[in-house]
């Protein structure tokens, strides 16, 4: 049976405990766990950035050069092909390797 961490928090005080610690404690009282799945792991590396500036790309008609605020006072400049972008938007910025 899969149990959501958020659902479990509705019934048990889990403050200061990790999912691994809770799984170990459940095993000690005969509630065996088969594994722990980090549902948020797929979002590691995804940054929600706020668009600060949009300029036309000098060498391409369908591209823009976009300056985005990625938090903590840091900005990045990216090339974007979106046609609906505007200053103030908060699109997801997924870094590529």
Q: Please state, in angstroms and rounded to a whole number, the distance separating the CA atoms of residues 34 and 31.
A: 10
Reported as a single tens digit per residue, the pLDDT across 41-69 is: 888 878 888 899 999 999 999 999 999 89
CATH of the domain at 81: 2.40.50.140
Residue pointed to by tokens 């009282």: 29
Query: Do 37 and 53 sit in the same domain of this protein?
Result: no
The answer to whether 57 and 63 are in contact (CB under 8 A) is yes
**Structural domain range at position 10:** 5-42
Give the range among 36-40, 53-57, 77-81 with minimum mean pLDDT.
36-40
How many domains are contained in the chain?
Answer: 2
* Full-model pTM: 0.54
Query: Do 65 and 83 sit in the same domain of this protein?
Result: yes
């Amino acid at each position: 049976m899969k149990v959501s961490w958020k659902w479990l928090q509705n019934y048990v005080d889990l403050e200061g405990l990790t999912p691994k610690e809770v799984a170990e404690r459940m095993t000690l009282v005969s509630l065996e766990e088969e594994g722990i799945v980090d549902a948020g792991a797929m979002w590691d590396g995804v940054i929600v950035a706020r668009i600060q500036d949009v300029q036309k790309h000098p060498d391409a008609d369908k591209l823009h050069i976009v300056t985005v605020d990625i938090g903590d006072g840091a900005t990045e400049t990216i090339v974007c092909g979106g046609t609906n972008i505007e200053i103030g938007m908060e699109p997801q910025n997924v870094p590529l390797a």
